Structure 1
Amino acid sequence: MSGTTAFTSVPIVDISGLRSQDRAERERVAAEIGRAARDVGFLYISGTGIDESLFDRLLEATKAFFALPVEEKMRTYIGLSRCHRGYVPVGEEGMETGPPDFKEAFDTALDLPEDDPDYVAGNPMLGPNAWPDLPGFATAVTAYYGAVLEVGQQLLWAFAVALGEDPDVFSRHASKTPSQLRLVHYPYNPDATDGLGIGAHTDYECFTLLKPTAPGLEVMNGEGEWIDVPPVDGTLVVNIGDLLELWTNGAFVATSHRVRRVREERYSFPLFFNVDYDTEVKPLPQFATSDGAQRPTLRAGEHLFAQTAQTFAYLRNRIDSGDLVLPEDALALGQFGQQALHEVGHGG
C-alpha cells in the first residue's frame, strides 16, 4: 500500500521551481513533492520565497501576547467567539479520553468582516478574527498568514499535477477557505519526562505548513515507528491532511504525528490549508476502486468543525448541553493517517 514505507527521515524539497516560467521545471518539482506525499506524507520545503522578517515579526508579536497575564489573554478566549478564533488556554484542548495538551495557543484564520454573509448565517469557522489589544499584533499575524497561504496555493497546484489531474482540480475550491493559522506556545517545562505535548493525530484539512522554533515533532512511519522531525533553517514542514488522503483514496496518507514534551520553551506556527467550507470531498475517479468500495464523502468545513468540536472543551460542553449538534455523518477522531492504518492492520 502506498504511503506505508519505513522511512527514517523526512525529505527536503526546494520548491522555488514552482515559480519558474518553465512548465517542465514546475512539473519536475511537483513530481518530487508527489513522491514525498506518497512515500512519507511529510516533507520539508525550502525556497518558499517568504521574507524571513515576516516570521521574525510574527514570533516577536506572539511572544509579547503569551507574556501577558492570563486574565488579559482571556479577554480573547476562544469560547467567546462565534467562529472559533482567539486564545486557547492550557487544558482547553485535548482528546476527550486522554490528558489535556500541555500548551496554549491563539487561533486565527481568514479575517472576514462582521457583515460577511457566511458569518451572519452562523458558519462556525468563517468570520472575523478576535484580536488582542496589542500594538502590531494583528498586522504581523495577517502578513505572515497571507505569505504562507500563497505558498499553500502553489502546493495545491503541485499536488494536482503530481497526481496527473487538471492543475486546478483542487485550487478551484480554494477561494474563501477556513484555513487556520495557529500560534502555539509550549511553556518551559523543567519536569518534562518524555510525555506528550500533543497526542498522536492527523490534521483535518488538505495539508499543513508548519514553522517550529524547537524540536519535539515526531511522525509515524509505515512500521508504526516514531521519526523525529527537527527544525531545519530556511524551511517549512509540510504534512498531508485528511482531505488529500480522502481525495486520493489513501495514495497520499495523512501521516499521524505528535509532539513530545521537551523542557525548553517552544513556539510552533502551523497553517492548516483547507478548501472552501462546502467543498464535497470524495476519491477522485482515478482512485475509485474496482469493487465500488469507497470512503464516505465529506464536506471540508463540516469535517473540520466536527473534529474541532471533539477536541475543544468549550465545544464539547456545548454538545453535552444540547446547544450544539454535530453533522449526522461526522467521523470519530482518528479515522485517517498511518496510525489508523497501523491499528487496522493489527486488529485495533
Structure 2
Amino acid sequence: MPPGFTAKVGRLETFTLPERVSGSVSDKAIADAMIGAWRRDGILQIGMTKSQQRVYQAASATSRRFFAQPHARKEACVDGSSYSGYIASGEEITDGVADYSEIFTVTKDLPHTDKRVAQGWPCHGPCPWLDQEMKAVMNKYMEDLAVSGEKLLQLIEMGLDIPTGSLTKYTADGWHHMRVLRFPQNNRTNGKGKKGRGIGSHTDYGLLVIAAQDSVGGLFVRPPRDTERFSNWEKSSAGLRENEAGWVYVPPVTGTFTVFPGDMMQYMTNNFLQSTPHKVGLNVRERFAFAYFHEPNFRSVIRPLPGYNAGQSPLEGIHYGTHFTNMFLRNYPDRITTARLQEEGRYRLLESKELRDDDEPL
C-alpha cells in the first residue's frame, strides 16, 4: 500500500468471462454473482486469458517506451481537435488540485477529413500517436477489451433481468477510450500537486471501466453505501470524501483486470449499480496502469433501463457526448483543445439534432 494511506485491503471476487454469452444457466449464475459483487464491493476482477496476457504485456512495454521519451517528443503528441494525446504531470485537475499522473489518452482516432471532425464536433479528431508501432499495439489492446466490454454488458443485462440489447444498443460505434497512465514515485514529483496523491477521488463517466495495473499498488475504491449518494452528471463528485475513512485498497493481482461501473450505469439503474469512487496514491516506485472505458455512442441520449425508471433526474435523459465533454472541460481547463472548443463556439453543437440520437431504449 502507498505510504501515508490507511485503508482496508480488499479481497475482490474474480470471474472468468465465457467465450460467448449464450444465456445459459451458467451465464446467469455468473451475471447474478457479478451484480452482487459490484453492489457489495463496487469493483470486481476478471481473469485475463493467455491471449489477453500477451496483448497486455505488449501494451505495457509500449507504455513504458512512450513515457521514457524526452519530454519534447511526448509534448508534441497533442491535437487541438480531440482530447487524445499526452497529458503532462500536473496538467490534469481533480477538484481544483493538480494530479501527478502522466497520461496518454486515446479517444476515437478520426482524421481531419472525417465529416464529424470537419464539422467541428466537440472532442472529435485524430489521436497524435508517437509512432505507428504505438498505434498498432494500443489499438489491439483496446479492440480486445471492446470484446470483453460487450460480454460484460450482456451479462449485466442478464443480471438486471432486462431485455437483451437494453445496454448494448447504446454501444454501436461506442465512444470507447483509454488512459495510459504513469505515476511517479512519491519522492520524485514536480511539486505541482498534493503530496502523495496521484489522482484525486472521482467517478468515471460512462458504462464500464476495465483497468489493469502493474505490481506497484496505488488504487483505492470506495464501496457503495446507502448513506452516500452522489450524481456526477448533476454535481461534481471530484474530491468526494477523499480524506475520510472507508476507502479500500485494491492490491495488484497478476493476470487480472479490475472492472467497475461508471456514471451512466448508475443513472440507468437508478443507483442500483453505483459509479465507483476511486483515487490513486503515489508509491515508493513509479507505477504504470491502463484504464479502458467501454462507452455509449457519443450521440446517445441515455435513459433509465426497463424496471429501473423511478423518475430519476434528469427526466429527459443524459446526452453522453455532453457529459463526456463537460468532464474533459473540467479536468483540462488550460488545454489547447479546451481553448479552441470555447473560442470557436463548438460547444453549442452538442444541442444540435445531428449530435443527438433520441431513440427510445428497448
Report TM bin, short chain: 0.7 to 0.9
Match of 2:334 among 310, 314, 317: 314
Distance 1:325 1:82, change over 3 A: closer
- Supply the distance in 2 between the matched residues of 1:81 and 1:179 (Cα, whole angstroms): 19
**Secondary structure of residue in 2 paired with 1:268:** strand
Matching residue within 94, 106, 109 for 1:108: 106
- Code of the residue aligned with 2:328 in structure 1: it is T
Shift of 1:148: 0.9
Superposed CA deviations along residues 220-267 of structure 1, whole A, max 9, x for unmatched, are 133850100111111100011000000001000001110012121101
Q: Secondary structure at the match of 2:94?
A: coil
Q: Could you say what secondary structure the match of 1:76 adopts?
A: coil
Inter-CA distance 20–283: structure 2 relative to 1 (3 Å threshold): closer
Change (3 A) 1:177 1:125: farther
1:325 CA drift (Å): 7.0
Q: What residue number does 2:37 align with?
A: 36
- Partner of residue 284, structure 1: 305
Q: Which moved further from structure 2: 54-63 or 22-31?
A: 22-31
Instruction: Please give the secondary structure, in 2, of the residue aligned with 1:245.
Output: helix
Say whether 1:228 aligns with 2:253: no
Identical-residue share of aligned pairs (%)? 24
Map 1:324-339 to 2 at 5 A. none
CA distance, structure 1, for counterparts of residue 136 and residue 349 of structure 2: 39
Q: Which moved more, 1:160-169 or 1:50-59?
A: 50-59
Match of 1:17, SS state, is coil
Deviation for aligned residue 1:206: 0.7
Amino acid at match of 1:180: H
> Aligned AA for 1:152?
G
Q: Distance in 1 between matches of 2:320 and 2:304?
A: 13
2:118 aligned partner = 120
Q: d(CA) in 1 for partners of 2:15 and 2:342? A: 49
Matched, 1:9 2:30: no
Which residue is equivalent to 2:296?
275
Contact 1:211 1:270 in 2 (8 A): yes
1:26 aligns with 2:24: no
TM-score under structure 1 normalisation? 0.83
Give distance in 1, aligned partners of 2:69 and 2:116.
32
Deviation at 1:273, TM superposition (A): 1.1
Matches within 5 A, 1:1-348: 9-17=10-18, 19=20, 23-48=24-49, 50-77=51-78, 80-95=79-94, 97-98=96-97, 100-133=98-131, 136-190=133-187, 195-213=196-214, 214-221=216-223, 222=225, 225-289=246-310, 292=311, 294-296=313-315, 297-315=317-335, 318=339, 323=344
CA contact (8 A) 1:281 1:298 kept: yes
Is contact 1:158–1:167 with CA below 8 Å preserved after alignment?
Answer: no
- How far, CA to CA, are the matches of 1:82 and 1:20 in structure 2? 38
Alpha-carbon distance change, 211 to 143 in structure 1, aligned in 2, over 3 angstroms: same
Give me the whole-angstrom Cα distance separating, in 2, the residues matched to 1:253 and 1:64: 36
Q: CA deviation at 1:95?
A: 2.5
- Return the alpha-carbon distance in structure 2 between the equivalents of residues 259 and 219 of structure 1: 9
Give the secondary-structure state (helix, strand or coil) at the position aligned to 1:142: helix
Task: Give the residue type in structure 2 aligned to 1:232.
Answer: V
Q: Give distance in 1, aligned partners of 2:299 and 2:349.
A: 15
**RMSD across aligned C-alpha pairs, in angstroms?**
2.7
In structure 1, distance between residues paired with 2:119 and 2:344? 17
The letter of the residue matching 2:72 is E
* 8 Å contact kept, 2:108–2:127: yes
Check 1:321–1:167 CA distance in 2 against 1; reply closer, same or farther (3 A cut): closer
Q: Residue 16 of structure 1: SS of its match in structure 2?
A: coil
TM value normalised by structure 2: 0.80
Structure 1 residues without counterparts, runs of 5 or longer: 1-6, 331-348
Q: Which has the higher contact order (CA 8 A, sep 6+)?
A: 2
SS at match of 1:239: strand
Alpha-carbon displacement from aligned partner over 1:35-61 (angstroms, at most 9, x marks no partner): 122222211111556431211111111
In the other structure, the counterpart of 2:354 is none
- The one-letter code matched in structure 2 to 1:60 is A
| DSSP-derived class of the 2:182 partner | strand
